[in-house]
Amino acid sequence: MAEVKQKSLTGKVALVTGGSKGIGAGIVRRLAVEGASVAFTYSSSKEKALQLLHEMESEGGQVSAFKADSASASELERAVRQTAEALGPLDIFVSNAGIANLGTIDTFRLEDFDRMVNINVRAAFVGVQAAARLMNNGGRIIVIGSNTAVRTAFPGGSVYSLTKAALTGLVRGVAIDLAPRSITVNNVQPGPTLTDMSSAHVDLVKPLIPLKRMGNVSEIASLVTYLASKDAGFITGASITIDGGYVA
């Protein structure tokens, strides 16, 4: 009789911010498939959130959704508490929520700058801080950055690159802070990945990728799942780029 493979995250509790669509939804799916009880936040995409819930429930996954705008510290902190109250102390926290407003430096509006910093940087800090306080020792914290932290490449991306570069410093410091509790902290930096948001830019970006294709959400989710697993226990403070060689 063939041996049944043990799911790598059975019994673990996970929270993914911005998990209703795109890369976030792919991470939710993969963590649930690997046996974790997964909660995710959504801001405005209620319909997509419900679709994901129904999809995962039909496949036997234990998935919950909480409405929370990552620009609001109080809402994000509440979602972390709700997850711990509903599912138990956290083992995995994935800070995925983010936005991209593009514009050259001479035209970029201050209010757009503030909102992007709030969601891409401040929310990562707030979420990581709140999650760490309610996380089991030996837990996993993963933030989703971008390869634009390494290479901006196009006009109009300076502020987005700034926010993603900030995450590289955050994870290095937090990794040291939480090392006494054996909590690892890492940053995944996707390159061009096929999502609804990126579909309009495929023809522009694909020729710049040595592998000559866009990444798949499932590939990003696989890396996140590995970093969330027991096998990745000696990786911390790292920023890992997954972009088909785009920044090589």
Which residues on adjacent β-strands are paired with residue 60?
Answer: none
d(CA 172, CA 46): 34
The identity of residue 50, as a single letter, is L
- Residue 231 · residue 6 · CB < 8 Å: no
Our answer to whether residue 160 is catalytic in this structure is yes
Among residues 42, 160, 226, 246, the one annotated as catalytic is 160
Q: DSSP for 117-169, please give it.
A: HIIIIIHHHHHHHHHHHTEEEEEEEEEE--GGGT---STT-HHHHHHHHHHHH
Q: Other C-beta atoms within 10 Å of 174: how many? A: 24
Tokens of 48: 């997509």
Tokens of 173: 């410091």
- Nearest-10 Cα torsion for 101, 102, 106, 112: 0
The phi, psi pair for 234, rounded to 5°, reads: -105, 10
d(CA 167, CA 187): 7
Q: Is 59 exposed, middle or buried (0-12, 13-18, 19+ CB in 10 A)?
A: exposed
The phi, psi pair for 5, rounded to 5°, reads: -70, 130
Active-site positions?
160
